[in-house]
Each structure stands twice: as structure tokens, then as C-alpha cells.
């Protein structure tokens, strides 16, 4: 049997009625009514500013005909007519107009509780499938081989993974992809650094191959730092790296031919001579170091719970981009300048950028230009392509998308660039050139150490290996939530004290709340002799939910709040804003804490659960389900104990 869909909430039904009534009163209406949870100082459940919005749309004749001279009077008219709406009688107990132009709605107890069982029922799909039928590529992570996976990559993969999950939750077919720079000067610097360190440390590639993967990757990081420093400080080294850059492109073409059967499209050598013996050496260093890097990245993806459908590389997209740019010089889209090919973005208020440099190598821009065609060739047609990056390349992407709109207009129209801020740590500015960086895994490792210290006191009886697994999950949850809870455009000042706070706006707090829900349900299962939480919930759902007027404020508050979960996920997916879901889940956890204190469900219980206790246990099951589902959408591991 296919999953059921969540019925429309009371807020949506009231909004539809309000919209219909408004059209009956004045005809064409701009915008749509929205209802939100009423502020705590208002003795109502839902509120809307629709009278204020609608009053500004009234003509002088409308105001005269309706006899309304202010938003408050319009609100009173709307409240009077809504009170007679037959479809709303089971939903709304009272609707009142308030200054300066609001409508406040108090719902019936039946309306407040009516959707409760759906939130606890795993067979019900909570999120409207508004994106069903869409095929969406989401590109994120994008760590470059030969370089460290730093906290910027961790931020990026966290955002991209969550956006993918949000879109999938709304019904889209999501194809997560990773795009990585395996050719370019950063690779040449690394290979030069490898050769330098081998000579200095009397080490060979074969020797290094016998070391653990972590040590091999650390060596690649040192090699890049060595090469990057020499590139800036030693002119002869810079020249050597430029030669190695050519050999790297040739080595990449050789690898594509041998490993993937892709014939070269571009002659990068342009008749330039190169040392065949050196090419053989560089090709070996290149293919080996590239493989080590990718193997290392795979271990990180597995730890973070990320799986990609496809990996794309600049060595592949460069072939497409080089051809595209070269073909559009004669039509004036690109221009020749000092031996290079550039895009004159200044004509459109943007920057001028080089797409093929004076050495005839495609730059990042040209490689990006070729990526959409590469994606389509490998994955077939798609409806959208969402690219997640740090905001330091915002201006770069404006230029690329401007050029793409002229060369590949259909692909450009389907491309959305989403950028996030930077992560700031107390250690100061990071630089992979100098080797002064904090890796993404390193940040999680440090969080894990902090949590292990807490577990040593709170879970002293737990086996050390289990503590380590639990601490790792909580560390990942803590870091991811911290990166996601602010608006994507904001930079993050990362604080371990704030991120690991078990009582504040943090990942561990959400985890603790879910574990508390699970504990209550486990205890109830034992009391009711159901044997398991699943059987308990099945029994509770089979019973008729009790409707009464003695619902405490804290329970009513959480019931109303649950009803906005679906809209929150839908909005977060539509606007690509993960922080909306973070804010919602924190609000749910806070409300559950107040509900738990005000409604001691299982106190003074023998072997029988009263109807009210049964309803409140369904509330716990609903909160448990929504918290766990929401945390999973954020890419957070969900723990069973704390």
C-alpha cells in the first residue's frame, strides 16, 4: 500500500477560505493570506495580517461599498463572514479582529488534535510532493585532489547534502554529484612539492605507498604547501611548475584514455616540446597521488553519510570548455587579449575574466563552462542544476553564468548557484598554501574528544568502543547543525562550547530530546505490555484519539506547532534554506521540554493508560517522528542513547 499524504492543516484550510471570501468581496486579489502561530501574549492559536494587506488593495468605491474605513473594520467584516462559513465550524471556535488590522483565530480542540495521529503514523507522508517529476542535479563538496579536505569543504558538503535531502523529501529525483579539480596549477605545485620532498627526505613513491592512507594524504598536503610557497618565492621553481602543469594536462589525457576510454579533444602541447622521461615520472606521481586523494575523500563521505551518484573532474570538463570557448571567439562572445581568450564582463557591470590563458590552458572558468554539457552527456537531461560553493567565488560565478547564458542559454537557465559563508575558528585564518589549516575531519575529531569527556562522566558504564561510536555521531550532529542553523549567506564563528551545549540551540540538544521521547515510549511499552515501541504506537493509533477541552497550554502549543512542520520543509526546499528547518526543530524541542514538564504522562501509572495519557503518548510519538525525520533531512546521525 502506498503511503498516505498529510491532509491540509487547519491554517491552510482557513487561508483558502479567507482568500475565497476576499475575492467575493472585491474581485481580483493580489497575494494570498498567510496564517502563523499567534504570539504568546495573544490569547489565540493562529494569527493573520491579511486585513492590513487587503485594505491597501481596496479602491475608494470598495471602501465605501463595504463601509470600511480602516484595516480593523475590514478585519471585523472578514471575521463576521468567516464565522458563518459552514466548512470552518469544526475548525474555528472563535475569530476576532484586532488592531491595527489582524485576525486572531482560536481553534476547536478537535481541530488542534485532528492531525496528531498522522504525524505519529510512519505510513503518512508528511511533506507535500510538490517537486515530483523534477530531475535535479545537486553539485557539492568538490574537494580537489592533492589538497586537504578543509572545513570549507565540510561546510559545503553539509549544505549540499541537506539541500539534496530537502528536495528529495518534496518528491524530486535528486542526483548528487561532486566536481573536483584534478588538473591545474595546484596539481603542478603539489607534484613539484612531492619531487622536492622525496629528494629532501630520501623517500620514494614506493616507500610512501607502504604508509597508512592518512600519512600519505598528509604528505600530499605538505607537498602542496612546499610547492605553493616556492611558486611565490623562487622564480626558477615557478618555471618548473609551469612545465609540470603542461605535463599534468597530458598525463590526465593519458589517464582518461587508458582508464575511461575517452579520447583527447584538445592538443594542450600546441607544438611545445617536453621531456618524455619527465612526463612518465609526472604521470606516475599524478595518477598515484590522485587515487590516494580520492580514496581519502571516500572515507570522509562515508563518515558524513554522503553518497554521490557521479564524480566529475576538471580534466574531463576542460576538454569541453576549451572547445566551447575557442568556438565563440569569432562571434564576439569571447575576445583575444595578449595571447589569452577572455570574457569582457565589464560590459555588463562584471569583471573581465580569462577563460584560456596565454599558455593555452583552460582556466577554472572554461572548465566550468564545459561542465553542463559533460553532466548531460553522462547523466542525461535534467530540469535543474544546483551548484553549492563558498561565497568567495560569487563574483566569479556571475561572470561564468553570464558567459554561459550566451553560449549555452538552456543550460544557464537551469543552473542555480547557491553560496554559503565561511567558517571562522579561534586558530585564525586558514591557508593550504602555508599548511596552516584545520581539516574538516579534524574539526569533527576535536568535537568528538569534547563529547567523550562528557560521556566519561555521564555514561561511565558504557563500553569504550560504544562511547567512541556515540561520540562520533554526536560530534557530526553538532558540527552539521552549527553550520546549518544560520542563514547560508552568514559566516560561522565556530564555538565548541555553543555547538556541544546539551541544553541550547545545538545538535546534541535535538538528539537529547529525541532520546527522551524514545525513553518515554519505551517505558510506556513496558507498562502497556506491548513489548516494543512499534507495537505501542500501532495500538495507540488504532484507538480513537481523545478530544476534550482540558488540553493544557503546553500540549496545545506543541500540537499547533507540529502542524507547521510540512510547510517548513516545503519552504526550506523551495528557497534552498536549511536554516528554516533548524529553527523549526529547535522550537519543537523547546516546546516538548515545556510539555514534558507540564504533563508528567507516566507518573502514578499502574498497568493501565488513561485515554488522556494515550493521547499524550501519541504527542510524544509524533514529536519523536518529526524530530528524527527532520534531523535526518539535515544529514545528522540519529542516536538511540545519550
Q: Cα–Cα distance between 81 and 276 in angstroms, integer?
A: 87
Give the model's pLDDT for residue 605: 61
The pLDDT tens digits of the residues spanning 365-421 come to 999 999 999 999 999 999 999 999 999 999 999 999 999 999 999 999 999 999 999
Q: Is the per-residue pLDDT at 557 higher than 70?
A: yes
The pLDDT tens digits of the residues spanning 98-139 come to 999 999 999 998 888 888 889 999 999 999 999 999 999 999
The three-state DSSP-derived secondary structure of 75-143 is: HHHHHHHHCCCHHHCCCEEEEEEECCCEEEEEECHHHHHCCHHHHHCCCEECCCCCCCCCEEEEECCCC
Give the model's pLDDT for residue 1: 31
Helices and strands in the chain, H and E counts: 25, 16
Give the model's pLDDT for residue 273: 85
In this prediction, residue 552 has a pLDDT band, given cuts at 50, 70 and 90, of: confident
17 inside domain? yes
Compute, in degrees rounded to 10, the torsion defined by CA atoms 365, 366, 371, 377.
170
435 inside domain? no
Lowest mean pLDDT among 9-13, 164-168, 547-551: 547-551
Q: Cα–Cα distance between 62 and 372 in angstroms, integer?
A: 53
**Do 325 and 366 meet the contact criterion of CB atoms below 8 Å apart?**
yes
The pLDDT tens digits of the residues spanning 326-335 come to 999 999 999 9
Q: Is the per-residue pLDDT at 80 higher than 50?
A: yes
Could you please report the per-residue DSSP string of 213-269? HHHHHHHHHHHHHHHHHHHHH-HHHHHHHHHHHHHHHHHHHHHHHHHH-------SS
Give the model's pLDDT for residue 541: 84
- C-alpha cell at position 554: 503546553
- C-alpha cell at position 142: 568538490
Give the model's pLDDT for residue 90: 87
* CB neighbour class for 579 (10 Å; exposed up to 12, middle 13-18, buried from 19): middle
**Judgement on whether residues 576 and 502 belong to the same structural domain of the protein:** yes
Percent of the chain with pLDDT over 70: 95
**Judgement on whether residues 376 and 475 belong to the same structural domain of the protein:** no
431 inside domain? no
The three-state DSSP-derived secondary structure of 293-307 is: HHHHHHHHHHHHCCC
116 inside domain? no
**Judgement on whether residues 331 and 186 belong to the same structural domain of the protein:** yes
29 inside domain? yes
Give the model's pLDDT for residue 325: 97
Percent of the chain with pLDDT over 90: 81
Closest CA to 204 of 184, 188, 189, 219: 219
Give the model's pLDDT for residue 607: 73
**Judgement on whether residues 394 and 445 belong to the same structural domain of the protein:** no
**Domain range holding 336?**
140-424
**Judgement on whether residues 258 and 314 belong to the same structural domain of the protein:** yes
112 inside domain? no
124 inside domain? no
Q: Is the per-residue pLDDT at 143 higher than 90?
A: yes
Q: Cα–Cα distance between 23 and 360 in angstroms, integer?
A: 63
The pLDDT tens digits of the residues spanning 39-63 come to 888 889 999 999 999 999 999 999 9
Give the model's pLDDT for residue 549: 60
pTM of model > 0.85: yes
Q: Cα–Cα distance between 368 and 44 in angstroms, integer?
A: 53
Give the model's pLDDT for residue 113: 87
The pLDDT tens digits of the residues spanning 571-624 come to 999 999 999 999 999 999 999 999 999 988 887 666 778 888 889 999 999 999
- C-alpha cell at position 621: 510519538
In this prediction, residue 6 has a pLDDT band, given cuts at 50, 70 and 90, of: low
**Judgement on whether residues 162 and 78 belong to the same structural domain of the protein:** no
**Judgement on whether residues 328 and 196 belong to the same structural domain of the protein:** yes
Residues in CB range of 403: below 8 A, 6 or more apart? 333, 334, 343, 345, 355, 365, 369
List the CATH number of the domain containing 92. Answer: 3.30.1360.70
In this prediction, residue 2 has a pLDDT band, given cuts at 50, 70 and 90, of: very low
Closest CA to 626 of 581, 595, 580, 596: 581
**Judgement on whether residues 151 and 275 belong to the same structural domain of the protein:** yes
Q: Is the per-residue pLDDT at 432 higher than 50?
A: no
**Judgement on whether residues 392 and 362 belong to the same structural domain of the protein:** yes
In this prediction, residue 543 has a pLDDT band, given cuts at 50, 70 and 90, of: confident
Lowest mean pLDDT among 377-386, 523-532, 533-542, 624-633: 523-532
List the CATH number of the domain containing 472. Answer: 1.10.730.10
**Judgement on whether residues 416 and 450 belong to the same structural domain of the protein:** no
The pLDDT tens digits of the residues spanning 459-502 come to 888 999 999 999 999 999 999 999 999 999 899 999 999 999 98
Q: Is the per-residue pLDDT at 550 higher than 80?
A: no
122 inside domain? no
Mean pLDDT of the chain: 92
Q: How many domains does the chain divide into?
A: 3
Give the model's pLDDT for residue 429: 43
The pLDDT tens digits of the residues spanning 285-320 come to 999 999 999 999 999 999 999 999 999 999 999 999
Q: Is the per-residue pLDDT at 430 higher than 90?
A: no
Give the model's pLDDT for residue 610: 84
Amino acid at each position: 500500500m502506498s503511503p498516505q499524504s498529510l491532509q491540509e492543516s487547519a491554517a491552510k484550510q482557513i487561508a483558502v477560505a479567507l482568500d475565497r471570501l476576499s475575492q467575493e468581496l472585491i474581485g481580483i486579489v493580489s497575494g494570498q493570506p498567510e496564517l502563523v502561530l499567534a504570539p504568546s501574549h495573544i490569547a489565540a492559536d493562529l494569527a493573520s495580517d491579511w486585513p492590513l494587506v487587503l485594505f491597501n488593495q481596496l479602491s475608494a468605491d470598495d471602501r465605501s461599498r463595504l463601509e470600511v474605513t480602516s484595516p480593523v473594520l475590514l478585519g471585523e467584516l472578514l471575521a463576521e463572514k468567516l464565522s458563518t462559513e459552514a466548512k470552518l465550524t469544526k475548525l474555528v471556535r472563535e475569530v476576532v479582529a484586532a488592531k491595527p488590522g489582524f485576525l486572531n483565530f482560536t481553534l476547536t480542540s478537535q481541530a488542534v488534535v485532528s492531525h496528531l495521529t498522522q504525524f505519529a503514523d510512519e505510513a503518512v507522508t508528511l511533506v507535500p510532493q510538490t517537486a515530483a517529476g523534477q530531475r535535479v542535479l545537486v553539485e557539492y563538496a568538490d574537494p580537489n585532489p592533492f589538497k586537504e579536505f578543509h572545513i570549507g569543504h565540510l561546510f559545503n558538503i553539509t549544505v549540499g547534502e541537506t539541500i539534496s535531502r530537502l528536495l528529495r523529501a518534496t518528491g524530486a529525483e535528486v542526483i548528487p554529484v561532486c566536481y573536483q579539480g584534478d588538473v591545474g596549477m595546484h596539481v603542478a605545485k603539489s607534484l613539484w612539492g612531492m619531487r622536492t620532498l622525496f629528494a629532501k627526505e630520501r623517500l620514494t613513491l614506493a616507500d610512501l605507498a607502504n604508509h597508512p592512507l592518512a600519512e600519505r594524504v598528509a604528505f600530499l598536503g605538505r607537498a602542496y604547501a612546499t610547492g605553493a610557497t616556492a611558486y611565490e618565492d623562487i622564480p626558477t621553481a615557478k618555471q618548473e611548475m609551469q612545465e609540470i602543469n603542461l605535463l599534468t594536462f597530458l598525463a590526465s589525457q593519458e589517464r582518461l584514455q587508458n582508464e575511461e576510454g575517452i579520447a583527447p579533444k584538445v592538443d594542450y602541447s600546441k607544438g611545445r616540446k617536453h621531456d618524455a622521461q619527465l612526463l612518465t615520472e609526472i604521470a606516475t606521481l599524478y595518477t598515484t597521488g590522485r587515487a590516494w586523494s580520492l580514496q581519502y575523500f571516500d572515507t570522509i563521505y562515508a563518515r558524513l553519510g554522503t553518497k554521490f551518484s557521479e564524480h566529475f573532474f576538471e580534466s574531463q570538463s576542460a576538454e569541453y570548455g576549451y572547445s566551447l570557448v575557442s568556438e565563440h571567439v569569432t562571434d564576439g562572445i569571447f575576445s583575444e587579449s595578449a595571447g589569452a581568450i577572455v570574457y569582457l564582463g565589464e560590459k555588463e557591470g562584471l569583471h573581465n575574466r580569462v577563460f584560456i590563458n596565454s599558455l593555452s590552458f583552460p582556466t577554472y572558468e572554461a572548465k566550468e563552462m564545459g561542465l553542463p554539457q559533460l553532466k548531460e552527456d553522462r547523466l542525461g537531461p535534467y530540469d535543474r542544476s544546483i551548484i553549492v560553493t563558498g561565497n568567495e567565488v560569487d563574483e566569479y560565478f556571475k561572470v561564468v553564468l553570464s558567459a554561459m547564458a550566451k553560449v549555452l542559454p538552456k543550460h544557464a537557465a537551469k543552473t542555480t548557484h547557491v553560496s554559503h559563508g565561511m567558517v571562522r575558528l579561534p586558530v585564525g585564518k586558514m591557508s593550504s598554501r602555508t599548511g596552516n589549516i584545520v581539516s574538516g575531519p579534524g574539526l569533527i575529531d576535536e568535537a568528538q574528544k569534547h563529547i567523550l569527556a562528557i560521556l566519561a562522566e555521564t555514561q561511565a558504564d558504557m563500553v569504550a568502543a560504544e562511547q567512541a561510536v556515540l561520540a562520533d555521531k554526536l560530534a557530526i550532529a553538532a558540527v552539521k547543525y552549527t553550520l546549518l542553523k544560520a542563514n547560508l549567506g552568514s559566516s560561522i564563528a565556530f564555538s565548541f562550547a555553543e555547538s556541544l551545549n546539551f541544553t541550547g540551540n545545538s545538535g546534541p540538544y535535538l538528539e537529547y530530546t529525541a532520546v527522551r521521547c524514545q525513553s518515554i515510549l519505551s517505558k510506556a511499552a513496558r507498562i502497556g505490555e506491548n513489548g516494543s515501541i512499534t507495537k505501542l504506537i500501532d495500538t495507540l493509533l488504532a484507538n480513537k484519539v481523545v478530544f476534550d477541552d482540558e488540553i493544557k497550554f503546553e500540549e496545545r502549543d506543541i500540537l499547533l506547532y507540529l502542524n507547521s512542520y510540512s510547510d517548513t520543509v516545503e519552504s526550506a526546499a523551495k528557497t534552498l534554506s536549511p536554516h528554516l528547518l533548524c529553527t523549526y526543530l529547535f522550537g519543537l524541542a523547546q516546546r516538548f521540554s515545556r510539555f514534558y514538564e507540564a504533563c508528567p504522562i507516566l507518573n502514578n501509572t499502574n498497568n493501565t493508560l488513561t485515554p488522556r495519557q494515550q493521547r499524550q503518548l501519541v504527542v510524544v510519538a509524533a514529536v519523536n517522528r518529526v524530530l528524527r525525520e527532520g534531523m535526518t533531512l539535515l544529514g545528522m546521525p540519529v542516536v538511540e542513547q545519550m
